[in-house]
Amino acid sequence: MRYKRLHLSLTMAVVGCGLSLCNVVTADSPTVNWVASWDEARQLAKSSGKLLMVVVYDSQCPTCIECKKRMFSDASIIKLTHRFICYAADINSKVGKELWQKHLAKRTDVLPATLFMSPTGELIDFVTGYLIAGVFEPLLKRILSGVTIKDLMARVERHPNDIDAVYALAIAYLERDQMGLARPLLERIKRIDPKDKHGYGISIELHLGIYYAYNGKMRDALKHLTRAAKQKRDINIAEEARFQMAIVYYAMARYEDAYRICDELSKQARRQDIRQMAARLLPVIRAAREEQRKEKQRQPQKQRKATREA
């Protein structure tokens, strides 16, 4: 069985510290109703007519466990999950292996993966990796509305210059980690709307930044996130992009840059969630920065010791 997990350092920087771009869940907030067994989940889906949402993860991968936990920690996401029958399948189990082989093995090599299925078990759609609430919520709403990838493909085929459909399909492919399919659509959007009057170009830069970051291509991630952060058209996207830049810098061990951005966001960001998350990440970065400084101070001592021993 071949698959890859999310880029560990970046993901743990986001979720391992308890951070996600989402609403805070309080003690009074509802929780996701995870069904205990696959057989029970299928029976409930058939009897209720609800769609199935199945998260396939690796119980031996701390990142997968944290991703599963944090993706479903947002209050608005939890509310939407109540319209699904939810089940979590460990890929090391019999059910997990069967779901992987049947629905994912030929489509992706990334875990965790989230499957959306009809009440009778037919695959409707899937996404891979950790999704921030700002991406996950509209995806769930699209699935619930009955708009599938096939529907988007048909719409784009009928109306190749329908920028709304082209954008939706491109983002859906990115959510599936299918850059090869998304790339020509992204290029088409540029041709249809070269001056970005619809504003999709800004959102695409953010999506591309997150995509490349989770695939470990940090320089490409920074290039796109920087573009999204510098634009002044959408402050929400700009601040989200800057926070993602801080996380990428953290993953690259560029702690000074990460600290500078988080310090600014914790004081100046208009979005309350960004201010709070930046403030929570600051002590983590500060500790890493201090350890990095100590290590640099130890290097000359190690070199002198090695010279004497030689």
Q: What is the pLDDT of residues 197-207, one digit of tens each?
A: 998 999 899 98
- What does residue 204 show for φ and ψ, rounded to 5 degrees? -65, -40
User: What is the average per-residue pLDDT within 10-38?
Assistant: 57
Q: What is the pLDDT of residues 218-273, one digit of tens each?
A: 999 999 999 999 999 999 899 989 999 999 999 899 999 999 999 999 999 998 87
**pLDDT band per the 50, 70, 90 thresholds, residue 10:** very low
User: What is the average per-residue pLDDT within 85-93?
Assistant: 95
Question: 194-227 burial string, b = 16+ CB within 10 Å, else e?
Answer: eebeeebbbbbbbbbbbbbbbbeebeebbebbeb
- What does residue 54 show for φ and ψ, rounded to 5 degrees? -120, 120
Domains identified in the chain and CATH numbers: 1-136 (3.40.30.10)
**pLDDT band per the 50, 70, 90 thresholds, residue 211:** confident
User: What is the average per-residue pLDDT within 156-184?
Assistant: 92
Regarding beta strands 113-117 and 51-57, do their DSSP bridges make them parallel or antiparallel, or are they unpaired? Answer: antiparallel
Regarding beta strands 4-5 and 110-111, do their DSSP bridges make them parallel or antiparallel, or are they unpaired? Answer: parallel
**pLDDT band per the 50, 70, 90 thresholds, residue 67:** confident
Q: What is the pLDDT of residues 101-156, one digit of tens each?
A: 999 998 888 888 999 999 999 999 998 887 777 778 888 999 999 988 889 999 99
* pLDDT attached to residue 28: 44
* pLDDT attached to residue 152: 93
Q: What is the pLDDT of residues 265-283, one digit of tens each?
A: 999 999 887 888 889 889 9
Query: Are 107 and 176 in contact, with CB atoms under 8 Å apart?
Result: yes
In this predicted structure, the answer to whether residue 217 has a pLDDT above a threshold of 80 is yes
Nearest Cα neighbor of 241 from 223, 268, 217, 219 is 223
Measured CA to CA, the distance from residue 53 to residue 114 in angstroms comes to 7
In this predicted structure, the answer to whether residue 2 has a pLDDT above a threshold of 60 is no
Measured CA to CA, the distance from residue 77 to residue 60 in angstroms comes to 25
User: What is the average per-residue pLDDT within 287-306?
Assistant: 80
Average pLDDT in the chain: 85
> What tokens does 217 get?
């291509």
| Residue carrying structure tokens 């759609």 | 125
* pLDDT attached to residue 300: 72
